[in-house]
């Protein structure tokens, strides 16, 4: 899978805070006003879509696939899209604090450090369901990696739809997330408009 390897601060300055991409903050802070005049509607919609894409670390093709799945599901497309993205295994590890960023969570999963319901899962896009139990593999290396992440962000609050048991290196998915509790400030309707006009 191709992933973004370019300068992360450049994306943060342009799109705003992207906690899933990096925890660092640019020295000059985030830009408040656009440099050039008034934003067009297209540009506003594109920026919201890019924000979603870079926060979750997806390719354009993957995001479009999620949008199509959300369009076929019951309920508002934008909310279903956010729920699908939030229930990915890499994102759940990030929200539990078991990884510092979504790319770090993806690496943990790819390197087979994570078990879901007692089985190794090495697919970061694995869609978690309510009552799934996520644990670290019973190896010192796996537990050390997760402990380092838990130590680096002890003040982070775990969302209501998840439960963390840090001493057992264990997380539990309680329910599907409410779209109002997504960890990214985004207007999902603009993303839906963007894709609706493209297809």
Q: What is the pLDDT of residue 177?
A: 82
More confident residue, 87 or 25: 87
Q: What is the pLDDT of residues 84-143, one digit of tens each?
A: 998 999 999 988 888 888 888 899 999 999 999 999 999 999 999 999 999 988 888 888
**Whether the predicted pLDDT of 20 surpasses 70:** no
Q: What is the pLDDT of residues 150-199, one digit of tens each?
A: 887 665 678 888 888 888 888 999 888 876 777 677 888 888 888 888 76
How many structural domains compose the chain?
2
Question: Which residue stretches of the chain are H helix?
Answer: 8-15, 41-56, 60-72, 77-86, 89-96, 102-110, 140-152, 188-198
Q: What is the pLDDT of residues 72-81, one digit of tens each?
A: 998 888 889 9
- Pick from 79, 69, 86: nearest CA to 189: 79
More confident residue, 21 or 111: 111
Residue 155: both structure tokens together:
């003040």
For residue 161, being part of any structural domain is answered with yes
Highest mean pLDDT among 10-19, 36-45, 61-70: 61-70
Rounded Cα gap, residues 88 and 138, in angstroms: 22
**Residue 126 and residue 63 in one domain:** no
Rounded Cα gap, residues 75 and 82, in angstroms: 12
Mean pLDDT of 27-44: 67
Q: What is the pLDDT of residue 130?
A: 92
- CATH number of the domain bearing residue 30: 1.10.1050.10
Q: Where does the pLDDT of residue 65 fall: very low under 50, low under 70, confident under 90, or very high at 90 and above? A: very high
Q: What is the pLDDT of residue 98?
A: 87
**Residue 95 and residue 166 in one domain:** yes
- Asked if residue 133 lies in contact with residue 165, where contact means CB atoms within 8 angstroms, the answer is no
Q: What is the pLDDT of residue 134?
A: 93
For residue 2, being part of any structural domain is answered with no
Q: What is the pLDDT of residue 1?
A: 45
**Whether the predicted pLDDT of 144 surpasses 60:** yes
Q: Where does the pLDDT of residue 25 fall: very low under 50, low under 70, confident under 90, or very high at 90 and above? A: low
For residue 76, being part of any structural domain is answered with yes
**Residue 141 and residue 171 in one domain:** yes
**Residue 105 and residue 70 in one domain:** no
For residue 3, being part of any structural domain is answered with no
- CATH number of the domain bearing residue 159: 3.10.290.10
For residue 63, being part of any structural domain is answered with yes
Q: Domain limits at 30?
A: 8-84+183-198
């Amino acid at each position: 899978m191709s992933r973004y390897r370019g300068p992360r601060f450049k994306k943060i300055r342009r799109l705003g805070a992207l906690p899933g991409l990096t925890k660092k903050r640019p020295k000059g802070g985030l830009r408040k006003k656009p440099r050039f005049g008034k934003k067009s509607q297209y540009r506003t919609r594109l920026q919201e879509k890019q924000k979603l894409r870079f926060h979750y670390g997806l390719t354009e093709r993957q995001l479009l696939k999620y949008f199509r799945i959300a369009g076929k599901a019951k309920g508002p497309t934008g909310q279903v899209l956010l729920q699908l993205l939030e229930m990915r295994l890499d994102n759940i590890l990030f929200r539990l604090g078991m990884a510092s960023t979504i790319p770090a969570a993806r690496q943990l999963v790819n390197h087979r450090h994570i078990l879901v319901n007692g089985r190794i899962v090495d697919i970061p896009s694995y869609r978690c369901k309510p009552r799934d139990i996520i644990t670290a593999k019973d190896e010192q290396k796996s537990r050390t990696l997760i402990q380092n992440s838990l130590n680096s962000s002890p003040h982070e609050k775990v969302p209501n739809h998840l439960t963390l048991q840090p001493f057992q290196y264990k997380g539990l998915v309680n329910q599907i997330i409410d779209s109002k509790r997504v960890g990214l400030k985004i207007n999902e309707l603009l993303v839906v408009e963007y894709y609706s006009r493209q297809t």
